[in-house]
Amino acid sequence: MFTELNSILNSTPDSFTKGEFIFVSDRQSDASFLIHHFLSFYLRARCKVCFLGLVQSFSHYCAISQRLGVSLAQAKEKGQLIFLEGLKESLSILIPQEGHTENQAMDFLRDPTVGLRSLYKFVQSSLNSSSSGEDGTEEWGPSVLLVDDISVLLSLGVSARAVLDFSHYCKATVCSQLQGNMVMLVRCDGEDEGDDGDDEGSELLLRGLTHQCSLTLHVQGLPTGYCRDIHGQVEVCWRRRQGDGQHTQKKLFQYKVHDKGASFFARGTSSAVL
Amino acid sequence: MAAPVDSVGKPSAERSPFNSTSFQKKTRSKLISIPGTRPSVQNGQLLVSTGVTSLDYLLEEDRYDSYSRMILKYFLAEGVVCRHELFVAAAQDNPDDILQELPAPILDDVAIHKPVDQPRLSCEPQDSLDAMKIAWRYQNLPKVQSALASTSRFGHYYDVSKTMEPEIRQAAKCHRFYLPEHPTQSSTTHSPMIESYSALLKSLQEVIHREGFDIAASMPKSRNILRVGLHSLGSALWGDDLSCHDNPRHSHALTTFLYGLRALLRSSLAVAVVTVPSHLIQDRALMGSITRLCDNAIALESFKGSERETNPLYKDYHGLLHVHQVPHLNCLASQLPDHKDLAFKLKRKQFTIERLHLPPDLSETVSRVSRGELAGATMVASACGSGTSGTKHLDF
């Protein structure tokens, strides 16, 4: 996990807000480094994590988490981490073969119009399974759902409406019922946000999820162009409900991703500049 | 995939990257040395020349498909030289034709074993065990096995004016997929993928299983890399109407196929280069999602037939190369290029990619008259700031 980000978000593995829906999005850059942060953060906090890794293989996350000091293989063995390797499971559905048992979770690949119900059932069953401490299994903290990334479902033919329904159901289960946290990543495209109906699905998803969440982290490239030392900017927006109104607080940071982490700094204070 | 460290089962304390000597360490992890590859220091992966294994390259074609074909041929030719296996798929031209047009390598040590002179690297095992006369101190060092004997070069040069000789080409095993040869049966599923892509994916998976490119496969003999070249996906010849309609019926066929391809590549020792005629696809958001599904995306913009061809700024080059995405597999930070203005040119014998730089301005009248044809006048670092058409010059 990135210590600077922890101080920005005012959270540590020992104390963080429960029941939070964190929405990570990017536009023309790559925000997946934030997913690695949250993965290692929640594993360190001894939470039970359900990770839907839809775009990369398990060993990719393993390799990076090792550099961040967390062993995914061990967590998986102990039952702390439930990992859905989307790529691997999808092959048995995309190339149908006899005698192969498929994981029901990726059923939407067979017919995207059906929706994401089976995926939701997978999430529900994995997070509900050992909430009561059975013999020998350890007691884990609150449940956490991580999705990387949910916008690939749009590319696979699922409608934006179905994805929004899925996230709503997950939020109800994970955040409200189980008092856990949820982190989802959406990757967008397009230079201007006011583009016409080309990118309707992705923009709809972006707006819908922004409305549902309590904390957004939006990653973008620098408005002045490409720079080697500053990889982009992150806009953090808290959307807490306090008292009568909704209180929104925004902060903007610039970041640089290293081999073993990422550093965040206020605009213009990068070490390359000063 | 990180081939060397895979399937050990025990978490290693530190992922030590490999150094590129051929010294074999006796550790628990299996050390696989495959000719024509080199492990990357950054993320412990096997690097293939112009590619990383399990990576998926997306190449946006230029308008007339001349330069993207060139890059595809380079990729395949490199595979032949390194003795990798090839898999070529095309809908328009017979893959055999593509294979016959591969450029000839400029060889000095392609197929011939050259004894290496340095005493520390003893070469092929069948070399006689002569006592070393001058470097006798090194005699007692353990004989290292350089498995990369004949192809220790990483990356080769090619002569595009000549085609590769058939003997060299036939030394590499090639698998072909020519769409007209595969009659498509109508599928009853509601899968968004169309039949031609399904057939291609299935055929690729069969080749991977059969020839043992799976990472999880337990073949003890020497492993090899499969280089996959897919030409012009998304064009109408594959049965896809992405490039024909604004609202295509099969809008998710190509993206679903790319997802399946990514899944296949992640679990095997293979690299794929895919060319897509993006200039025919109207939907920019679709190009965005296609780009995100690949690891590495490059777009070629050739100057042929556009007004830039006669622009003196670009007279040295044949086109621009835009890097849309760089891979970051197994590591947090990607290798971002230093600068993003790249251009390519095809000389008589060589295809080069270099940083776009302005040609030196040697004309004598430069300070006096700025010609109006310099359409990119704002790019030229001119002292006269406002981009006027240039017919007025300051006269004192």
C-alpha to C-alpha distance for B131 and B266, rounded to whole angstroms: 47
Q: In chain A, what residues touch B2 (CB-CB under 8 Å)?
A: 59, 63
CB pairs below 8 Å between A and B: how many? 131
For residue B275, which of B325, B231, B320 has the smallest C-alpha distance?
A: B231
User: Residue A198: which of B205, B285, B330 has the nearest Cβ?
Assistant: B285
| Residue A249 within any structural domain of the chain | yes
| Residue A119 within any structural domain of the chain | yes
Most confidently predicted of A105-114, A206-215, B158-167, B282-291: A206-215
Across the interface, whether the CB atoms of A155 and B267 are under 8 A apart is answered no
User: Residue B288: which of A36, A66, A190 has the nearest Cβ?
Assistant: A190
B170-212 pLDDT per residue, tens: 777 778 777 777 766 555 555 666 778 888 888 888 888 887 7
User: A66 — contact with chain B (CB < 8 Å)?
Assistant: yes
- Of the pLDDT bands very low, low, confident and very high (cuts 50, 70, 90), residue B31 is very low
| Residue B275 within any structural domain of the chain | yes
| Residue A100 within any structural domain of the chain | yes
Question: Could you tell me the CATH number of the domain that includes residue A72?
Answer: 3.40.50.300
| Residue B249 within any structural domain of the chain | yes
- Of the pLDDT bands very low, low, confident and very high (cuts 50, 70, 90), residue B256 is confident
Q: Are the C-beta atoms of B62 and B177 separated by less than 8 Å?
A: no
For residue B372, which of B383, B387, B358 has the smallest C-alpha distance?
A: B387
Determine the structural domain holding residue B314 and report its residue range.
45-107+153-355
| Residue B8 within any structural domain of the chain | no
Q: In chain B, what residues touch A257 (CB-CB under 8 Å)?
A: 332-333
| Residue A54 within any structural domain of the chain | yes
| Residue A274 within any structural domain of the chain | no
User: Residue B262: which of A36, A87, A259 has the nearest Cβ?
Assistant: A87
Question: Could you tell me the CATH number of the domain that includes residue B56?
Answer: 3.40.50.300
User: Which range (A54-68, B33-47, B316-330) has the least confidence?
Assistant: B33-47
Domain count, chain A: 1
C-alpha to C-alpha distance for B300 and B349, rounded to whole angstroms: 20
Across the interface, whether the CB atoms of B1 and A228 are under 8 A apart is answered no
pLDDT by residue, tens only, chain A of 274 residues: 788 888 888 888 888 888 889 999 988 888 888 999 999 999 999 889 999 999 888 888 988 888 888 999 999 999 899 999 888 888 888 877 766 666 677 888 877 777 888 889 998 888 887 544 444 456 788 899 999 888 888 888 888 899 999 999 999 999 888 889 999 999 887 654 444 444 577 888 888 998 888 899 999 888 777 777 788 889 999 887 655 566 778 888 888 888 788 888 887 777 766 6
| Residue B326 within any structural domain of the chain | yes
| Residue A252 within any structural domain of the chain | yes
Per-residue pLDDT, averaged over B34-39, amounts to 50
Domain count, chain B: 1
C-alpha to C-alpha distance for A201 and A189, rounded to whole angstroms: 11
**Which tokens hold the place of B85?**
């296996």
- Strands, DSSP E only, in B63-173? 85-90, 103-105, 158-163
Determine the structural domain holding residue A249 and report its residue range.
2-9+19-127+139-190+199-266
| Residue B329 within any structural domain of the chain | yes
- Strands, DSSP E only, in B140-210? 158-163, 174-178
User: Residue B266: which of A57, A155, A199 has the nearest Cβ?
Assistant: A57
Judged on CB neighbours under 10 Å (0-12, 13-18, 19+), B338 is exposed
- Alpha carbon of B106: minimum distance to chain A alpha carbons (Å): 35
Q: Which residue of A has its CA nearest to B328?
A: A60
Q: In chain A, what residues touch B266 (CB-CB under 8 Å)?
A: 56-57, 87-88
Residue A187 parent element (H or E): strand A181-188
Could you report the predicted ipTM of this complex, rounded to two decimals? 0.87
